[in-house]
Structure 1
């Protein structure tokens, strides 16, 4: 009977040791979960800030595109007679030796 009690006490000791080990592991895992939750919360905040920055940049891009289009709309077209031929490429072959109106001989 004494031997059985000693064996039972040894088993209880092993179970208690195992329970302590599991409790320590459980605590470590809880701390890791808390750390990961804090990190996830930080990442969510960063993501929301980046989304806000992206939205602001999209608005600025749209405004810049409107300003550029406004500037382009004000520029003369190729068929516009007011457009300057800065390189003189249009005059030389088409006119040949003719003098334009207003040129002196």
Structure 2
């Protein structure tokens, strides 16, 4: 009977040791879960901030595109009579379609 009690006490000791090990592992896992939840929360906040930044940048891009289009619309086209003759070729051309050099007389 004493031998059986010693075996039972040894088994109870092993079970208690295993329970302590499991409790420590459980506590470690709970701490890890809390850390991961905090990290996930921070990542969500970062994602929301980046989405807001992206939306702001999209608005700025659209505004810039509208300004650029407005500037382009104000520029004269190739067929526009208001276009500047930067080389002055139109003033030097003769009625026959040939050009006179400066100082040359027809």
Q: What is the TM-score with the length of structure 1 in the denominator?
A: 0.84
What SS does the corresponding residue of 2:84 show, helix, strand or coil? Answer: coil
User: Which residues in structure 2 correspond to 1:21-100 (within 5 Å)?
Assistant: 21-86=21-86, 88=87, 95-98=97-100
Inter-partner Cα distance in structure 2 for 1:7 and 1:97: 122
Show structure 1 runs of 5+ residues with no match: none
Alpha-carbon deviation of 1:98? 4.5
> Could you say what the CA RMSD is over the residues aligned between the two structures, in angstroms?
2.6
Q: Secondary structure at the match of 1:81?
A: coil
Deviating 4+ runs (over 2 angstroms): 88-92, 95-99
- The alignment's TM-score, normalised by the length of structure 2, stands at 0.83
Output one character per residue of 1:21-72: Cα deviation in whole Å (capped at 9) or x when no partner.
0000000000000000000000000000000000000001001100110110
Partners of 1:62 and 1:53 in 2: CA distance:
14
